[in-house]
Chains A and B, each alone.
Chain A
């Protein structure tokens, strides 16, 4: 019973027609039915068929996550819904641009940490850096957290992109 009530996090890949309003339908479904969106990314991925791929990270009980997938499948311009979390192993990445401003020891420390995280400096001034960090959500979270005491001023994140391991398409 307790298992049924446990909140799980799932990464869901949705293939949709690339037409006006599709994103509004998907987002409206989540807000209208009170589902969580932790991250959502979208871009056209197939120009010949005019398809976009939406990657959604959501959380809920098993029953709710099943509902989310079935509700998504009901939308007319949705062609495919896959639960990457349950369908087998997958990889996921997120990119963040992190602006840190400061001087002296803190500035040096931020560079040192960036090095450990393999983050690149893509802009710098005398009093600031913009780092580009790529990785799993947890890694990006950790990087941002470490930057906080070092003069973190701004963050822009892409949200999660995810794909199944192995040779097969969605």
Chain B
């Protein structure tokens, strides 16, 4: 009898497990098989549910929530089409190491495999796009599985986890297990090997032309890791470059920062990588967008790699020394060892190294020709930065030129304020992601810097923003083109602009109005400041349509198949690359 008292329905077990995991918000969309869960949600008020307009957006929103808080994002969708709509979001989260738990409904266990109504083999479909996934077969296993799902999502290299719940498990009865009773064999290594750390510190102290190459892993590791990294970089006085995902891990305004590296990185960052004698990689994965032509990548440098995922090490680039573990733990030990050994950088060599770097900096590679007639996209972003920085805003982006210009011209001083789709490059990421950020930080200024094409991929979420009173600002750099595609066609495909121009766009001001948001427009440089100020002053969702120069290209750029020291700095260089010129190894594509 007592046994019977402790039994709960699967839906009750699920919600209790989520609460016990510290979940406060679920991004979701209902449907047939998950209705019993929605019924339970209706009866309680511990968990807030944000009703999106498309399941892909629920996943991106959970990503924004997770990346801006360091917590695990949570998604709930129905079986079949609800679940398949999450695939792009899950893949995005996998590529960018974002911790998520996505609960999907499934047809009852006895119907699995029958081509039942709204059945999809979601465990099969999501196997390659999740860190791990589960099909729960009985209510008794549900609590333990949910707890393990959260553990897997956030431990080690973070990632998305799917928990598939057949309807009979949701409605069936079972025993609840608290998180403390969860047993798991999944225990990734967190502490770094001390001997390996000592050797790394020795290599760092001995370097003459060193550079820190910092990635999203430091942000994953947490705010403390970013502070420790900043401390270590300042102790050494060495230059520090960040990947797209690592922006904010080290303050952009620090004189030791040489900015972003890679395809659209700065001249000084890429040349410093190329000319260095030691690269200290902390939580970055030698992505092909940063290495360029592999055989000419940093030819004179020894490489140290600090990463929590052993499979990131020696994947693209062979390194000389690796330390496996969590960045915060390893950095803390490195600082201790550096102090204990009373290490000192090689003063004379470092001075020369900085003189060389300052020479490269003198090229002022992010310079562009401004205009007083037409709005230059870089100018719009610079003004946005200057006029909003006092509010310490959260910035998300879509994918394209506007994303790269933001990375170049918006200065990030802190981690977790920058959300962008780096690995998958998902157009349509920015708006829902901003929504998730705003949910997590209700009073903050949250801006999605968008392109007019990308924004249309998840524009339906304007309705969600209005319904939940989430005052996200959408700042569209409207160049009337899929600018990034147009740029490649100009530079690589002989100016044949095949399908990169959308003949027709909505009137974004009227569109904002139709959703119940506020629409603003700037067509001249002199109007930019005013629309930004007005945008900030409105406590509602806003779309700002900034009409920018349609022909502007994003520079600097390492052309496909080229190496770091072959950067193109600006339009005056008259570049032309043959398509498919990828002579061997991995190249930028």
Contact = CB atoms under 8 A, between A and B. Distances in A.
A-B pairs, 5 with minimum CB distance: A70-B311, A76-B132, A70-B310, A71-B311, A32-B128
A20 B137 CA distance: 11
Contacts of A66: 314
A121 to B, nearest CB: 41
Interface string B124-157: 1001100110010000000000000000100001
Interface in B291-316: 309-311, 313-315
Interface string A52-76: 0000000000010011001101111
A67 B128 contact: no
Interface residues of B, number: 18
Interface string A8-22: 000000000100110
Given A66-B314, A71-B311, A76 B186 contact: yes
A73 B123 CA distance: 20
Interface residues on A, range: 10 to 19
A90 interface: no
B127, B135, B157 — most chain A CB neighbours (10 Å): B127
B152 A24 contact: no
A6 to B, nearest CB: 14
Given A20-B135, A25-B127, A67-B311, 14 more contacts: A21-B123, A21-B127, A21-B135, A24-B124, A24-B127, A28-B127, A28-B128, A63-B318, A66-B314, A70-B309, A70-B313, A73-B311, A74-B309, A76-B186
B443 to A, nearest CB: 38
A79 B314 contact: no
A21 B162 CA distance: 14
Contact of A76 (B128, B152, B311): B152
B61 to A, nearest CB: 25
B186 A73 contact: no
Nearest to A4: B318
Given A21-B123, A32-B128, A76-B132, A67 B309 contact: no
Nearest to B148: A76
A67 B127 contact: no
23 contacts: A4-B318, A17-B185, A20-B135, A21-B127, A21-B135, A24-B124, A24-B127, A28-B127, A32-B128, A63-B314, A63-B318, A66-B314, A67-B314, A70-B309, A70-B310, A71-B311, A73-B310, A74-B157, A75-B132, A76-B132, A76-B152, A76-B186, A79-B185
Interface of A: 4, 17, 20-21, 24-25, 28, 32, 63, 66-67, 70-71, 73-76, 79
A71 B315 CA distance: 10
Contacts of A74: 157, 309, 311
Contacts of B131: 76
Nearest to B159: A74
A71 to B, nearest CB: 5
Nearest to B133: A21
A61 to B, nearest CB: 11
A113 to B, nearest CB: 45
A137 B330 CA distance: 45
A20 B141 CA distance: 15
A71 B185 CA distance: 17
Contacts of A28: 127-128
Contacts of B124: 24
Contacts of B185: 17, 79
A18 B318 CA distance: 35
A97 B92 CA distance: 47
A80 B79 CA distance: 34
A167 to B, nearest CB: 25
Nearest to B324: A70
Contacts of B311: 67, 70-71, 73-74
A47 B315 CA distance: 36
A32 B127 CA distance: 11
Interface in B229-244: none
